[in-house]
Amino acid sequence: MLSLANFFDPDTSWTESRFDVADKSDVSGIATHVGSYGQQKTLELRLANNFDALKFNVGQANDSKSSDKILVVRVLGNGKQLDVRKVPFNTVQEISVATKMVNAVKIELTAEDPQSNDSRSVTAVISDVTLD
């Protein structure tokens, strides 16, 4: 499993701890707060073209300020979109992307354009990060 220390120059908004996500308790993960629409949080891995796949789980912590927002997760490899998923509250989404001949992988998190004026944040949790 990868930890926050494995990511390339993460900003200080990311933390590593244990979280309750959906029906899972005490999940060891990497987290950040994602607020209003348009705010983006990014984690990057430098792979040196040495791995075939990146796998991880993502969800919203049960103690997020908002339970109404949908988290949008985009995975980019060498600047091209590899996958995009929408993750509502009370859901853990498994993501697996091919990374053969990929050097830089970015995981971008945003909140989907809200239907309401809910300005409260969600706590996005990334867990079980592995490279094959």
pTM of the model: 0.95
User: What's the pLDDT score for residue 116?
Assistant: 62
Mean pLDDT to the nearest integer, 7-13: 97
User: What's the pLDDT score for residue 120?
Assistant: 85
Q: What is the pLDDT of residues 14-65, one digit of tens each?
A: 999 999 999 999 999 999 999 877 789 999 999 999 999 999 999 999 999 9
For position 119, which CATH number holds?
A: 2.60.120.1060
Residue 18, helix vs strand vs coil: strand
- Strands (E) located in 53-132: 53-60, 71-77, 80-87, 92-98, 104-111, 122-131
Q: What is the pLDDT of residues 59-117, one digit of tens each?
A: 999 999 999 899 999 999 999 999 999 999 999 999 999 999 999 999 999 998 766 66
Domains in the chain, number: 1
72 is in which domain, residue-wise? 4-131
Residue 114, helix vs strand vs coil: coil
Provide the β-strand partners of residue 44.
106
The length of the chain is: 132
Q: DSSP class of residue 63?
A: T
User: What's the pLDDT score for residue 39?
Assistant: 86
Cα–Cα dist 127/72, whole Å:
16
Cα–Cα dist 51/115, whole Å:
39
